[in-house]
Amino acid sequence: MASKMMLGVYDNPDRVYTVTETLVKSGYDVHDVYTPFAVHNLDRVLGVKRSRLSIAAFFFAMTGLLSAVALQVYASYYDWQVNVGGKPSLHIPTYIPITFELAILFTAFGMVGCFFFVNRMFFGRNTDVIDIRVTDDRFVIAVNLNTDTDVKSLEQVFVSGGALEVRERIKDI
Amino acid sequence: MSYESPLREPLVKGGKTYADVTRDILRPLEKNASKSWWIAFSVSALVLAMWIAATTWTMLEGIGAWGLNKTVGWAFDITNFVFWVGIGHAGTLISAVLLLFRQKWRMSINRSAEAMTIFAVICAASFILSHMGRPWVAYWPIPLPNAFGTLWVNFNSPLVWDVFAISTYFSVSLVFWYIGLIPDIATVRDRAQGIRKFIYNFFSMGWNGSTRTWHRYEMISLILAGISTPLVLSVHSIVSMDFATSLVPGWHTTIFPPYFVAGAIFSGFGMVLTLLVVGRVVLKQEDYITMGHLDAMCRIVMLTGTMVGLAYITEFFVAAYSGVEYEQYAFINRASGPYWWAYWIMMSCNLLAPQVFWTKWARSTPWFIFLMSIIVNIGMWFERFVIIVTSLHRDFIPSSWTMYTPTYIEFAILVGSFGLFFTLYFLFTKYLPTINMAEVKSILPTHSHDEHNDNQAAVQSANVEKGDTVHG
């Protein structure tokens, strides 16, 4: 789906923050803000909901933990007991290191997988970069232009906030 | 966005703008390789060739090519393995532990330290493979249903734990490093042309820099740091259990896990200093990796060196206090037996030498820091040699006491592993940004963009004056 947007280009994160705050408060449909680094609190201003990655992390950790325990108990107790120096076959303390490592391994890979999935990131993806300079030193506020958007006053907000450039573009979303 | 103290030295010097950061850090990637890079790379590649030759010889000839015997069954191989794994601890420590503690000075050094971690663990893994003697059956420690009936691995064995620990550590470090690289790879992508653009575009995974992506990115970095912190502590604890759970005098001690972790951080920072003291000059990154960064790392080296030294002395006390004759003899033999020289190299390099970092001069003189970092690395290699060889060569039965002498092949593998390490490291400096640009940009003071560069000096000095009047 292609949509029409108005872009305000800035060179200072403080200004981007103030302008975004003004735009959101005055009810404009702010699509997203593109920055070269994570600008603190900008996500809160935009109303981005707290990511549920941390909840996913917990479930991945539990999966890793349980799989490790299941593997070790099954292999060393139920399937084939090996007598090494008369030591017990079902010996919980010696399962701790592997259980711990697998919990971490599952958490890391599971979470990173989720992260790529929700961001729709994969190797070789061609993205429609909003402005090639946002990975260098520019900050871009993108506002969706709906039928009822007052373009004149939007431009006014952009410019009075210190925009270096204001322009329209079509973006695939 | 970020507040900068008027009194403290700034983390990034030279009044950089965001564009300056991009340009400075991508310079080595975007221009042709310098002559010094080619020389350094060629030398490491030659040393790597020696590693390949010596390792191949070992594979063809068997472990008989080494100086091992019935009494000393582990020597250079496991020494080198523990040495490289230890070096591999600084990267994750810097990026994970210092992230949790909100230490912003980590931002200029975490990328190269993490790269170092990954390459060091690759070197370590090569020793696991070669010490098996039959690397084609290296998959045996993995619990797989197999063709020998249902014979599983022994989950009571620390060697099996080690397989899990090292492989988890390597893969999680790699993922953590790669997640950190994605925004910077996107920066390279947006400046590149032609085939380079295609390649960097492939690896940037469609990064677009939107606030929603950054929000999740910050979350995932924090959680990865949170799980990497116990991971980094667990890995060297498990490595130490390879020794500590045995009955060999000198190995069988409960102090090993914390002592090995402290030693790993110590040697890791030693190697980070070796690389960065030179790298910051060669890559012209003195404004990013400042004397303040070197100073902070020297303090960590001193602290962890002293912790390791304390552990050496505690081991003696514990041996004396235990009343176990074999344990006591193991330590007397270490300090005054045939390998006394190795013991005293270890003591002087690890406990005594780092104490010079109490002085400001030592922490602010690059050539001296470089020299010290080499001494630390030598000391930590000898620590592992002392622990492994001196404990084994004289154990319970005097009739089997013997000496261990390494062969040329073993020396070639040790030296060659540095070739493997540096070849990978030099490739990294040429093809990937060695400093995390996105993080460094986030700690630049915003006023440098209001005023732009020309007014930067004035702003700085005004701040200093303000600070002086307030606090003076």
The per-residue pLDDT for B100 is 83
Q: Would you state the structure tokens that stand for residue B90, as one six-digit string?
A: 């600084």
Of residues A37, A72, A105, nearest to B155 (C-beta): A72
Chain A, nearest residue to B208 by Cα: A129
Assess if residue A123 is contained within a domain.
no
Per-residue HEC secondary structure of chain B comes to CCCCCCCCCCCCCCCCCHHHHHHHHHHHHHCCCCHHHHHHHHHHHHHHHHHHHHHHHHHHHCHHHCCCCCCCCCCHHHHHHHHHHHHCHHHHHHHHHHHHCCCHHHHHCHHHHHHHHHHHHHHHHHHHHHHCCCHHHCCCCCCCCCCCCCCCCCCCCHHHHHHHHHHHHHHHHHHHHHHHHHHHHHHHHHHCCHHHHHHHHHHHCCCCCEHHHHHHHHHHHHHHHHHHHHHHHHHHHHHHHHHHCCCCCCCCCCCHHHHHHHHHHHHHHHHHHHHHHHHHHHCCCCCCCCHHHHHHHHHHHHHHHHHHHHHHHHHHHHHHHHCCHHHHHHHHHHHHCCCHHHHHHHHHHHHHHHHHHHCHHHHCCHHHHHHHHHHHHHHHHHHHHHHHHHHHHCCCCHHHCCCCCCCHHHHHHHHHHHHHHHHHHHHHHHHCCCCCHHHHHHCCCCHHHHHHHHHHHHHHHHHHHHHHHHHC
Report, as an integer, the average pLDDT of B407-423. 93
- Taking the CA of residue A3 and the nearest CA in chain B, the distance in Å comes to 17
The per-residue pLDDT for B149 is 62
Dihedral sign, Cα of residue B371, residue B375, residue B380, residue B382: positive
Enter the pTM of the model: 0.89
Contact (CB<8Å) A97/B450: no
The per-residue pLDDT for B447 is 57
- Which residue from B106, B44, B103, B20 is spatially nearest to B284, judged by alpha carbons? B20
Query: A115-142: per-residue pLDDT in tens?
Result: 999 888 888 888 878 888 888 888 898 8
The per-residue pLDDT for B459 is 45
In degrees and rounded to multiples of 5, residue A166 shows phi and psi of: -130, 130
- Dist. CA B369–CA B361, nearest whole Å: 10
Range of the domain at A37: 2-49+128-172
Number of domains in chain A: 2
Contact (CB<8Å) A108/B224: yes
- Interchain contact B30–A (C-beta under 8 A): no
Cβ atoms of residues A24 and A64 within 8 Å: no
Assess if residue B171 is contained within a domain.
no
The per-residue pLDDT for B454 is 44
What mean pLDDT, rounded, does chain B reach?
86
Contact (CB<8Å) A136/B231: no
pLDDT band at A69 (very low <50, low <70, confident <90, very high): very high
DSSP lists the bridge partners of residue A2 as A172
Assess if residue B213 is contained within a domain.
no
pLDDT band at B458 (very low <50, low <70, confident <90, very high): very low
Domain with A26 in it: what CATH number? 3.30.70.260
Cβ atoms of residues A134 and A140 within 8 Å: yes
Question: What one-character DSSP code corresponds to residue A78?
Answer: I
Cβ atoms of residues B255 and B262 within 8 Å: no
Q: Are residues A63 and A109 in the same domain?
A: yes
The gap from C-alpha A168 to its chain's centroid, in whole angstroms, comes to 26
Assess if residue B13 is contained within a domain.
no
Query: B282-318: per-residue pLDDT in tens?
Result: 888 888 888 888 998 999 999 999 999 999 999 989 9
Contact (CB<8Å) A84/B207: no
pLDDT of B152 above 60: yes
Q: Would you state the structure tokens that stand for residue A24, as one six-digit string?
A: 């959101």
The per-residue pLDDT for B50 is 94
Q: Are residues A91 and A143 in the same domain?
A: no
Of A73, A93, A118, which one is at a domain's C-terminal end? A118
Question: What one-character DSSP code corresponds to residue A37?
Answer: S
The DSSP H or E segment spanning A64 is: helix A53-73
Q: Would you state the structure tokens that stand for residue B54, as one six-digit string?
A: 């010596």
> Hey, which of A86-90, B240-244, B445-449 has the most confident mean pLDDT?
B240-244
- Interchain contact B214–A (C-beta under 8 A): yes
Assess if residue B11 is contained within a domain.
no
Assess if residue A33 is contained within a domain.
yes
Range of the domain at B246: 18-133+230-452
pLDDT of B393 above 80: yes
- Dist. CA B264–CA B87, nearest whole Å: 6
A118, A136, A139: best mutation site toward chain B, by most B Cβ within 10 Å? A136
């790392």: which residue's tokens? B297
Q: Would you state the structure tokens that stand for residue B442, as one six-digit string?
A: 């986030």
Assess if residue B309 is contained within a domain.
yes
In degrees and rounded to multiples of 5, residue B413 shows phi and psi of: -70, -40
What mean pLDDT, rounded, does chain A reach?
86
Query: B37-95: per-residue pLDDT in tens?
Result: 899 999 999 999 999 999 999 988 888 889 888 889 888 899 999 999 999 888 888 88
Assess if residue A111 is contained within a domain.
yes
pLDDT band at B147 (very low <50, low <70, confident <90, very high): low
- Taking the CA of residue A152 and the nearest CA in chain B, the distance in Å comes to 25
- Taking the CA of residue B18 and the nearest CA in chain A, the distance in Å comes to 5
- Cβ-based contacts of B4 with chain A (< 8 Å): none
- Dist. CA B101–CA B111, nearest whole Å: 17
Number of domains in chain B: 1
- Interchain contact B207–A (C-beta under 8 A): yes
- Dist. CA B123–CA B104, nearest whole Å: 30
- Taking the CA of residue B87 and the nearest CA in chain A, the distance in Å comes to 20
Q: Would you state the structure tokens that stand for residue B276, as one six-digit string?
A: 């960065």
Cβ atoms of residues B390 and B250 within 8 Å: yes
Q: Are residues A132 and A102 in the same domain?
A: no
* List of residues 6+ apart from A167 with CB closer than 8 A: A6, A7, A9
- Dist. CA A116–CA B376, nearest whole Å: 40
Contact (CB<8Å) B152/A75: yes
Chain A, nearest residue to B451 by Cα: A12
Query: Which is more confident, B186 or A28?
Result: B186
pLDDT of B160 above 50: yes
> Out of B43-52, B419-428, B435-444, which region has the weakest mean confidence (pLDDT)?
B435-444
Contact (CB<8Å) A135/B201: no
Assess if residue B458 is contained within a domain.
no
Query: Which is more confident, A173 or B397?
Result: B397
The per-residue pLDDT for B455 is 44
Q: What is the ipTM of this complex?
A: 0.91
Query: B334-372: per-residue pLDDT in tens?
Result: 999 899 999 999 999 999 999 999 999 989 899 999 999
Of residues B18, B153, B446, nearest to A36 (C-beta): B18
Contact (CB<8Å) A98/B189: no
- Interchain contact B109–A (C-beta under 8 A): no
- Cβ-based contacts of A137 with chain B (< 8 Å): 17-19, 22, 441
A69, A101, A117, A123: best mutation site toward chain B, by most B Cβ within 10 Å? A101
Query: A32-42: per-residue pLDDT in tens?
Result: 899 988 888 88
Assess if residue B331 is contained within a domain.
yes
Task: Report chain A's terminal Cα–Cα distance, integer Å.
Answer: 6
DSSP lists the bridge partners of residue A4 as A170
The per-residue pLDDT for B383 is 92
The per-residue pLDDT for B471 is 37
Q: Are residues A101 and A142 in the same domain?
A: no
Contact (CB<8Å) B219/A75: no
**Per-window interface: B 302-341 vs A, CB < 8 A:** none
- Interchain contact A13–B (C-beta under 8 A): yes
Assess if residue B155 is contained within a domain.
no
- Interchain contact B371–A (C-beta under 8 A): no
- Dist. CA B50–CA B419, nearest whole Å: 8
Q: Are residues A31 and A65 in the same domain?
A: no
The DSSP H or E segment spanning A13 is: helix A13-25
Query: Which is more confident, A107 or A162?
Result: A107
The per-residue pLDDT for B457 is 45
- Taking the CA of residue A107 and the nearest CA in chain B, the distance in Å comes to 8
pLDDT band at A18 (very low <50, low <70, confident <90, very high): confident
- Dist. CA B218–CA B427, nearest whole Å: 28
A62, A98, A117, A164: best mutation site toward chain B, by most B Cβ within 10 Å? A98
- Dist. CA B40–CA B42, nearest whole Å: 6
**Per-window interface: A 76-105 vs B, CB < 8 A:** 76, 79-80, 82, 84, 87, 91, 94-95, 97-98, 100-102, 104-105
- Dist. CA B101–CA A61, nearest whole Å: 23
The per-residue pLDDT for B169 is 93
Query: Residue type for B326, please?
Result: Y
